[in-house]
Structure 1
Amino acid sequence: MAIKKTALYSSLWASCDQLRGGMDASQYKDYVLTLLFMKYVSDKYKGDPYGMIVVPVGASFEDMVALKGDKEVGDKLNKIISALAEENDLKGVIDVADFNDEDKLGKGKDMVDRLSKLIGLFEGLDLSANHADGDDLLGDAYEYLMRHFATESGKSKGQFYTPSEVSRILAKVVGITSDTPQDASVYDPTCGSGSLLLKASDEAPRGLSIFGQEMDNATSALSRMNMILHNNATAKIWKGNTLSEPQWKEANGRLKTFDFAVANPPFSNKNWSNGLNPEQDEFNRFTWGVPPEKNGDYAFLLHILTSLKSTGKGAVILPHGVLFRGNAEARIRENLIRQGYIKGIIGLPANLFYGTGIPACIIVVDKAQAQGRDSIFMVDASKGFIKDGNKNRLRSQDIHKVVDVFTKQTELDHYSRLVPLSEIAANDYNLNIPRYIDASEPEDLHDLSAHLQGGIPNADLDQLSAFWEVFPTLRQTLFSSLHDKGRDGYSQALVEPGQVKSTLLAHPEFTAFRDQALAPFTQWTEKQPFEELQEGDKPKVFIHEISEALLEAYIPVPLLSRYDVYQILMDYWAETMQDDVYLITQGGWPAAAQLRVLVPKKGEKLQETPDLIVNKTKYKADAIPPQLIAERFASQQLAEVNAAQGVLDEATAELESYLEEHGSEDGLLSAAINEKDKITKASVTARLKGIFDYEEEQALKQAKKLFNAEATAKKAHKEAKEELDKRVLAQYGQLAEEDIQALLIDDKWLTSLEAAIQSEIERVTQQLANRLKELEERYHDPLPQLTEQVESLSNKVNGHLRVMGLEW
């Protein structure tokens, strides 16, 4: 059966739990990722004489499975991995983790049990159908695990992974286009686990030639495995310190140069010059200045510039301090600006990265256009993010907006600007973004005259001009001018603050706007090739095409941000739709209609909640919920269930109301309260056997009647639900492909997306309602009126005090 993307992720993350104990995330990641690699290459290449990886006899994952329960499982696992490593020149890559380490994995039976469970978790995954070509479950799963490992590894050990959202920005702004040839080279001198290189390569139509260097041995191994899992087995990743021991050199000893470079160097490295004399650097990397001894940010940037061809382009993540720090860094910065190397700067939100919480920026360099460059394009993207646990995370819309604005050099108020070099020179070559872009929110100033004399300032209402353009008569409905009362520039409210939203929603111009705002969505749905999706297609290509079309469709719609609408689709994709699409692309449309029978493992509870239970058999529907089947194919039975539910709800409400009315300590049913402080049918029946008080007897009989009515209603609802479930279960096996498409596309995907867009339309109008209500409440009672009210209330209090004999 096809694997859901989220199900694969949860299974892999569950495997990590088997190793926790004596290790932190920075250690157990090596074990989990190594087993993932072994399972993948065994499933994909075993028995394939033309495969990129040779799986020798006795060195497959099946051989690992045979070791479950073996007393020497750790040592034998090491030998299997070593055999595969030797056969494929992967020594020092996949054999970094020691599976026989008693300090980390436990001794004796503890080690055997832990490793056996770990093997068992991977044993149940069939990965042979997944193709690692930039649109692969396994490549994404590897990224998923590394992100989680980075999150848990802590500040000092999480720097091996650049958040994929940031990697995507670098890859898209560095200058790779649809015309970039496959033999063009991309280089990362501090490549970590390789995510930046892979994202950059994915931007080229046929990929790029990948070169990287990583100082940490274990992280370098992660990068090599990552490359193989993404079908980039020819990628060249070297170990070593890039600054003191650069590995990529030409035959003449000079640094090798590349077409593109991307990098996320360690921030403010205090040991950058270890093993290096920058004053006598053999590669002439510090021509434009020597960075401070205790801060290596510019050392990496200068290395990258030297490693680029004369037409080369690069994008580097550095801390914000490089934009404005003084002394040696100021001189380097001035030289680079005057040389024309810096094409643009993108300011990022704080707390994005796993190794640090400080804000960072992306510096985009371009040697090709350096001589004629007379400006630098700046983007302040620091406000666009969401909270994700204890970190901030860029949303899909944040990424898209940055890339759109930067690549098209679009100037937006408070967000982006093309800054002339003359202006930068006038600021002593300080590149601090707030000097050039004011991204702060305008201050909401109070009008003292309005507070004193009443009325709402027209200046505040004029700031809502975008809304008045869409609702041209609404302002006259809500406000009238105070000109006739000698208050030029002020208006009075015609609607009470609490009625603003209802007035807005009922206004015919809002109804017209709602229809106008939904029209692009309707047109988009009619043009998208949902039904053409088939087995073997690439989910990432599919979502890219339909999301770009939706973004394009919402360009002309006023008030709505097309990026917000785009985010609705991307959120739904991440939460729900991608799982459905991955099932279809792995097994065709019929795969989306399959039900799984849930059977708990021996001694364990079910890990998943069943969607359907028929004759005590529990089923899980991965893509099409039973409710959708019922609504389309069993509407009569569904109506009967809903009717029975209504009768049951009414019976339960009547019973609860009666028990609450008469179940107090001195109520007619107080004697029927049981030892658990409840009134039940059994306690009422027992009390009725020896009762003589007429009123109490009648109350008990009424309570029993209501209990019986609820029980009858429960039985009727249960029987109706069982009939519906049987009908739905039978229908799953009768679905034609067009039925499956209608259920998924129309009833599930498009219905959910339309509801979300309608909510976004209401959210935008709610902003207007909230602001108008705020202004009306702010200036509703002018100061003289408030003073009069205070005086009146004070007189009343004094009068009461005099009556009480308290007077002074």
Structure 2
Amino acid sequence: MALKKSDLYSSLWRSCDELRGGMDAGQYKDYILTLLFVKYVTDKAKSDPTSLIDVPVGGSFDDMVALKGDKEIGDKINKIIGRLAEANGLEKVIDLADFNDEEKLGTGKEMQDRLSKLVAIFAVLDFRGSRAEGDDLLGDAYEYLMRHFATESGKSKGQFYTPAEVSRVLAKVVGIGAATRQDHTVYDPTCGSGSLLLKVADEAPRGLTIYGQEKDNATWALAQMNMILHGYEDRDIRKGDTITSPQFTQGARLQTFDFAVANPPFSIKSWSNGLENDYGRFEFGRPPEKNGDYTFLLHILKSLKGNGKAAVILPHGVLFRGHAEANIRKELLRRGYIKGIIGLPANLFYGTGIPACIIVLDKENAHARTGVFMVDASRGFMKDGNKNRLRSQDIHKIVDVFNKQTEIERYSRMVLLHEIADPKNDYNLNIPRYIDSSEPEDIQDLHAHLHGGIPDHNLDSLNGYWEAFSSLRATLFKPNRPGYSDLAIGVAEVQQAILDSDVFQKFVMGVRGQVDDWFATHRSVLQALNPDTVPKGLIALISDDLLARFKGTPLLDEYDVYEQLMTYWHGVMHDDVFLVMNDGWCEAAKPRKNIEDKVRKLSETPDLVIGSGRSATKYKMDLIPPALVVARYFADEQAEADSLHAAAEVASRAVEEYIEEHAVEEGLLAEAMDDGKISKALASTRLKVARHEGADPEEIKVLQHLIKLYNQESVSKKDAKEAQAALDLATLKKYGDLTEPEIKQLVLDDKWHAAVADGVESEAESLTLALVARLQELGQRYAQTPGALEARLETIHARLAEHLSAMGFSR
């Protein structure tokens, strides 16, 4: 039975992390990714006789597995990798990590054990069915490891990896799509580990031809392995400094490409060291000697064909810095080369925390371009540890808005070139000059403060709510005077009034109905999951349809609805799909026993425990949580167990309250206390002594009642425990009796459909709570006028005078 992908990768990372010893992540990744590479090509050679990678005798991962416990394991692994490298012309690519390095891996038995365990971790992976499409075991494992290595490497060493979310944005806005041919070319002059290039290639259904250049030798090797791992054996990735030694040239000119993407190092100061030939890149001006941002942008522009397109990540400074950079910017704008600019949130990248932007270049019809399309996406992200990350909804919104050139207030607009060229802007492209993304200021109304009433313009700003809940405004408010209204109910009653209103209930039912219709449309596709399903295509199909269905829904933002599905997909549903694809519905639904995996350091919280103590058996239900089985088949038994648990809690509280009442100092239970506590055994012992000593009859009576309460508690707990044990056993047995249609009903309807519907419904409810908060704020803000406060103050003064007079004081 397959493990869930998320469990597999997290356990893989934890295992590797524990074994790395004295190395930092920047060094350790070379060992891990080399083993991942050897394992993949070995598995692929077994299942694909046409594979371009030759796995020679004595050069496979299986040969590594045979070395477990070998005293010379480090040296022999080096030789295995050497044979594989030599057979495929991959010298200085896959053989950079020294598996016999005693300083990094330890000496003698320490190295032997460490490498044996490391090989064992990868031995459990099976890539024979991997399609390397970015949603399979290999692609996700590689992505997971690279992200963690980048996070662990710190700011100075994390630049080999562009976050996958940002890469997807570049890939989708650069212009690649269904019409892209396999002979179309894409180029990344600072390709790092190649992750950005692969995300771009993933957007071309028929593939395309990949070119890249990388300065760092180890990172270049990483990119070579990455390309092969993802099925691009015919890639062309070269070594060298792109600015001083561009490798893709045609005589004295640069080679040109259809598309280009890049995440170059920000603001590099030594870009011109060793520069001899500029290849005509600086025809619009030479960048400053101590800032290379425009150097890379101009290099990419020169590397594009006459209709070429590019997307480049650069720091925000390129949009507004002056002097030489201002002149270059002006020339690029005058010629129409800059199609658009997308402002990103700060702290997305591993190499820096500063905010960046994406500059989209397009040479096609550049002379006819009349404006620059700008997007301010700086506010859309989530926190992920010490970094920020784009959410699925952020990616989708950026791409939708940019590709469709949709103008949204405070988010995006087409800025005409004559506005940019206006002397007050002088070709400055700083996004806040053209898009004010800040929330409108909440201006206080002095007239309302003086005379009361809520300003109608404040209520008008909530028009989205009144559109969704048609008669609610008339229910909640009554006229005060022209331009002002009063709450028709108390401020504290607003929330319940909204939740109880017919229009709100109708709205929620309508939202639920939309989700129900959406799921019904795709249920047949979901229940037909099989090994040939492409999860990436599946989620794209159903998520885009959900987004489209909510586009016209008042109040709800369709991207928020979309995020509810995508969050559930990444957290639960993707794992479920993976299990069903690999094991089938019936096998995937079976409980797993013995859920501790010492090789991968995997220890899971059990979903069901049968028995107790050492004889207890722990089960994990990956696909169908026990609560779903219980809810559908054992609702009465669960209600009975819940009732018994509640009775046990009541019995326990009765004991606690009785002790609290009588165990006070000088109390009737004080003599039975031991270290501030009294158990049934202590109470029984004290009762015997009290009877023997002829103690106070009241004490004896209290002790007898306490023992009686303890006995009742014991019986209640025993009944609840037995009922729960019987229910758990029946639940476990039911798993073995489930038919495939029943399993599909539990997963499709009770799990997936219900979870998404609840998520979307919670989105509507959370927006309603925001309305409640705003109305309460407005109601409280203007509730007290100066006249009312003055009258209240006079009343308080009068009462105070009365009290003083009654006490004999006179004013």
TM-score normalized by the length of structure 2: 0.95
SS of aligned partner of 2:517? helix
User: Which of residues 542, 558, 561 in structure 1 aligns to 2:557?
Assistant: 561
SS of aligned partner of 2:146? helix
Q: CA separation in 1, counterparts of 2:634 and 2:292?
A: 68
What is the aligned-residue RMSD (CA, Å)? Answer: 2.1
Q: Does 1:527 align with 2:521?
A: yes
SS of aligned partner of 2:448? helix
Q: Which residue of 1 aligns with 2:489?
A: 495
**Match for 1:123: what amino acid?**
A
Q: CA separation in 2, counterparts of 1:651 and 1:273?
A: 81
- Give the drift of 1:13: 0.6
Q: CA separation in 2, counterparts of 1:469 and 1:552?
A: 19
**Match for 2:569: what amino acid?**
W
Q: CA separation in 2, counterparts of 1:400 and 1:57?
A: 47
The residue correspondences of 1:76-87 to structure 2 (distance < 5 A) are 76-87=76-87
SS of aligned partner of 1:690? helix
Q: Which residue of 1 aligns with 2:400?
A: 404
Q: Which residue of 2 aligns with 1:585?
A: 581
The residue correspondences of 1:312-323 to structure 2 (distance < 5 A) are 312-323=308-319
What do the CA deviations read for 1:653-701 (whole angstroms, capped 9, x no partner)? 32233233223333332222223x3222222122111113222222222
Deviates more, 1:440-449 or 1:593-602: 593-602
SS of aligned partner of 2:603? coil
Tell me, yes or no, if the aligned pair for 1:174 and 1:364 is still in contact at 8 Å. Answer: yes
Deviates more, 1:112-121 or 1:165-174: 112-121
**Match for 2:454: what amino acid?**
I
SS of aligned partner of 1:371? helix
- Give the drift of 1:114: 2.1
Q: Which residue of 1 aligns with 2:775?
A: 772
Q: Which residue of 1 aligns with 2:370?
A: 374
Deviates more, 1:722-731 or 1:500-509: 722-731
Q: Does 1:172 align with 2:172?
A: yes
Q: Which residue of 2 aligns with 1:91?
A: 91
Q: Which residue of 1 aligns with 2:379?
A: 383
Q: Which residue of 2 aligns with 1:656?
A: 656
Q: Which residue of 2 aligns with 1:264?
A: 263
**Match for 1:687: what amino acid?**
R
Cα distance, 1:534–1:47 mapped onto 2, change above 3 Å: closer
Q: Which residue of 2 aligns with 1:721?
A: 724
Tell me, yes or no, if the aligned pair for 1:611 and 1:625 is still in contact at 8 Å. Answer: yes
Cα distance, 1:730–1:368 mapped onto 2, change above 3 Å: same
SS of aligned partner of 1:183? coil
* Aligned length in residues: 799
- Give the drift of 1:253: 4.4
Cα distance, 1:46–1:781 mapped onto 2, change above 3 Å: same
The residue correspondences of 1:743-754 to structure 2 (distance < 5 A) are 743-754=746-757
Cα distance, 1:59–1:445 mapped onto 2, change above 3 Å: same
Q: Which residue of 2 aligns with 1:206?
A: 206
Tell me, yes or no, if the aligned pair for 1:190 and 1:214 is still in contact at 8 Å. Answer: yes
Q: Does 1:341 align with 2:337?
A: yes
Q: Which residue of 2 aligns with 1:472?
A: 470
Tell me, yes or no, if the aligned pair for 1:11 and 1:121 is still in contact at 8 Å. Answer: no
- Give the drift of 1:599: 5.5
Cα distance, 1:276–1:639 mapped onto 2, change above 3 Å: same
User: Which of residues 449, 454, 457 in structure 2 aligns to 1:451?
Assistant: 449
User: Which of residues 414, 420, 423 in structure 2 aligns to 1:424?
Assistant: 420
- Give the drift of 1:445: 0.8
SS of aligned partner of 2:624? coil
Q: CA separation in 1, counterparts of 2:802 and 2:101?
A: 87
- Give the drift of 1:611: 1.4
Q: CA separation in 1, counterparts of 2:177 and 2:319?
A: 28
- Give the drift of 1:530: 1.7
Tell me, yes or no, if the aligned pair for 2:595 and 2:604 is still in contact at 8 Å. Answer: no
What do the CA deviations read for 1:704-759 (whole angstroms, capped 9, x no partner)? 12221222122222222222222222222222211111111111111111111121
- Give the drift of 1:793: 4.1
Cα distance, 1:333–1:727 mapped onto 2, change above 3 Å: same
- Give the drift of 1:767: 1.4
What do the CA deviations read for 1:248-307 (whole angstroms, capped 9, x no partner)? 123x34221111001000000111111114xx52x1111111100000001001111111
What do the CA deviations read for 1:101-141 (whole angstroms, capped 9, x no partner)? 22222233332232222222222333333331332121111
Q: CA separation in 1, counterparts of 2:8 and 2:233?
A: 23
Q: Which residue of 2 aligns with 1:394?
A: 390
Q: Which residue of 1 aligns with 2:568?
A: 572
Tell me, yes or no, if the aligned pair for 2:244 and 2:275 is still in contact at 8 Å. Answer: yes
Q: CA separation in 2, counterparts of 1:479 and 1:660?
A: 51
**Match for 1:789: what amino acid?**
R
Q: CA separation in 1, counterparts of 2:255 and 2:716?
A: 80
- Give the drift of 1:195: 1.1
Q: CA separation in 1, counterparts of 2:100 and 2:808?
A: 91
- Give the drift of 1:372: 0.9
Q: CA separation in 1, counterparts of 2:114 and 2:355?
A: 40
Tell me, yes or no, if the aligned pair for 1:534 and 1:589 is still in contact at 8 Å. Answer: no
What do the CA deviations read for 1:354-373 (whole angstroms, capped 9, x no partner)? 11111111000111121211
What do the CA deviations read for 1:472-504 (whole angstroms, capped 9, x no partner)? 332222222122xxxx32222221111111111
Q: Which residue of 1 aligns with 2:433?
A: 435
- Give the drift of 1:542: 1.0
Deviates more, 1:720-729 or 1:203-212: 720-729
**Match for 1:14: what amino acid?**
R
Q: Does 1:156 align with 2:156?
A: yes
Q: CA separation in 2, counterparts of 1:16 and 1:803?
A: 82
Q: Which residue of 2 aligns with 1:626?
A: 626
- Give the drift of 1:644: 2.5
Q: CA separation in 1, counterparts of 2:699 and 2:188?
A: 85
SS of aligned partner of 1:780? coil
TM-score normalized by the length of structure 1: 0.95
Q: Which residue of 2 aligns with 1:755?
A: 758
Q: Does 1:710 align with 2:713?
A: yes
- Give the drift of 1:48: 5.2
User: Which of residues 741, 745, 769 in structure 2 aligns to 1:742?
Assistant: 745
Q: CA separation in 2, counterparts of 1:493 and 1:589?
A: 55
Q: CA separation in 2, counterparts of 1:476 and 1:333?
A: 54
**Match for 1:490: what amino acid?**
Y
Q: Which residue of 2 aligns with 1:505?
A: 499
Q: CA separation in 1, counterparts of 2:597 and 2:585?
A: 29
SS of aligned partner of 1:225? helix
SS of aligned partner of 1:586? helix
**Match for 1:700: what amino acid?**
L
Q: CA separation in 2, counterparts of 1:805 and 1:119?
A: 93
Tell me, yes or no, if the aligned pair for 2:11 and 2:601 is still in contact at 8 Å. Answer: no
Q: Which residue of 2 aligns with 1:17?
A: 17
- Give the drift of 1:59: 2.0
**Match for 2:770: what amino acid?**
Q
Q: Which residue of 2 aligns with 1:687?
A: 686
Deviates more, 1:457-466 or 1:315-324: 457-466
Q: Percent identity?
A: 58
What do the CA deviations read for 1:170-216 (whole angstroms, capped 9, x no partner)? 00000012111111111100011111101111111111111111111
Q: CA separation in 2, counterparts of 1:543 and 1:357?
A: 32
Q: Does 1:543 align with 2:542?
A: no
- Give the drift of 1:781: 0.8
SS of aligned partner of 1:18? helix
Q: CA separation in 2, counterparts of 1:223 and 1:400?
A: 27
Deviates more, 1:556-565 or 1:122-131: 122-131
Tell me, yes or no, if the aligned pair for 2:11 and 2:600 is still in contact at 8 Å. Answer: no
Q: CA separation in 2, counterparts of 1:606 and 1:570?
A: 26
Q: CA separation in 2, counterparts of 1:305 and 1:727?
A: 68
Q: Does 1:463 align with 2:457?
A: no
Q: CA separation in 1, counterparts of 2:680 and 2:756?
A: 47
Cα distance, 1:666–1:207 mapped onto 2, change above 3 Å: farther
Cα distance, 1:223–1:800 mapped onto 2, change above 3 Å: farther
Deviates more, 1:153-162 or 1:91-100: 91-100
Q: CA separation in 2, counterparts of 1:403 and 1:602?
A: 44
Q: CA separation in 2, counterparts of 1:420 and 1:233?
A: 44
Tell me, yes or no, if the aligned pair for 1:174 and 1:260 is still in contact at 8 Å. Answer: yes
Q: Which residue of 2 aligns with 1:241?
A: 241
**Match for 1:679: what amino acid?**
I
- Give the drift of 1:603: 12
The residue correspondences of 1:596-615 to structure 2 (distance < 5 A) are 596-598=592-594, 600=596, 607-615=603-611
Cα distance, 1:593–1:89 mapped onto 2, change above 3 Å: same
Tell me, yes or no, if the aligned pair for 1:163 and 1:353 is still in contact at 8 Å. Answer: yes
Q: Which residue of 2 aligns with 1:642?
A: 642
What do the CA deviations read for 1:421-447 (whole angstroms, capped 9, x no partner)? 111111211111111111111100111
SS of aligned partner of 1:246? coil
- Give the drift of 1:645: 2.1
